[in-house]
Amino acid sequence: MMFRRNGELWPGLWRHSAAIFLGMLVLLYVTEPYLEGVALAKLLRSTMFTLVLFTGALAVGERKKLLIWAGLLSAAAILLLWANHLRPDLVPREYALATGLLFSLFVSIRLVRFILRAPVVDGEVLCAAVATYLMFGLAFSFMYILVGRADPQAFAWTVVAGEHPDLDGFTSMYYSLTTQATLGYGDIVPVSRTGRLIAMAQSVGGLFYMTLLVSRLVSVYSSGHKNGKP
């Protein structure tokens, strides 16, 4: 069932779809660092990503056509994710990462569109804004994993001299968000041209998104007050 608000179609199948999607993303980020070394880590990680993909598809399904596209992308990502989980010898992980990346970018673009077209600033818009930021970070973490798997020397660890650990799991998410927030701790450094280019794009994109988001939310909020809305 679709919902309408102020004469416009409410996105997603649930009234609080963006909030639920944000909750799944936060749960993924919070639990990921504690899965390292756990016996069922791969199973739990696959389950968490499945929930993120499923709720993400519902959060952007404002129209039947969009819901179909989101469902197809999420279904492909989920299928390849579990196929790699069950038969990694037959289904390379790169396939699951690539489809997950496409889905993440699709959801992020749709959420940005929703935020920019929102007539009022409410809880659902704010949840969508935070979810978009986290989804951008997740998308770039997939990119870093793919780059690292293609070139094991693409990233250097300054705190682990002489070694090149895999940029994967929570480490990729940590590096992605710190790059997006332009913190630049320096413990992980992109060495290859591709790695540096992606890091540059993410840093600029993160700053641009926050600037655009703040200006848009302030504009909508101020407009509502001028029109006598609470």
Give per-residue pLDDT as tens, 124-136. 889 999 999 999 9
Is the model's pLDDT at 186 over the cut of 70?
A: yes
Kindly tell me if the per-residue pLDDT of 65 is higher than 90: no
**Given pLDDT bands bounded at 50, 70 and 90, which one contains residue 8?**
very low
Q: How confident is the model at residue 67 (pLDDT cuts 50, 70, 90)?
A: confident
Cα torsion 196, 178, 138, 164: sign: positive
Strand 155-157 versus strand 188-190 pairing type: antiparallel
pLDDT digits (tens, 9 = 90+) for 100-111: 999 999 999 999
pLDDT > 90 in the chain, percent: 52
**pLDDT for residue 35 is more than 90:** no
What's the pTM value of the predicted model, to 2 decimals?
Answer: 0.87
Q: Which of 21-30, 87-96, 127-136, 216-225 has the lowest mean pLDDT?
A: 216-225
- Whether CATH 1.10.287.70 fits 3-226: yes
Is residue 164 within 8 Å of 27, Cβ to Cβ?
A: no
Q: Which two tokens stand for residue 195?
A: 């790695």
The 10 Å Cβ neighbour count of residue 185 is 12
Per this entry, what is the length of the chain? Answer: 230
Q: What local confidence, expressed as pLDDT, does residue 224 receive?
A: 57
Average pLDDT over residues 220-229: 60
Range 171-200 average pLDDT: 92
Q: Which letter does DSSP use for residue 64 in this model?
A: H
Distance CA(52)–CA(135), nearest Å, equals 10
Of 138, 135, 134, 146, nearest in space to 195 by CA: 146
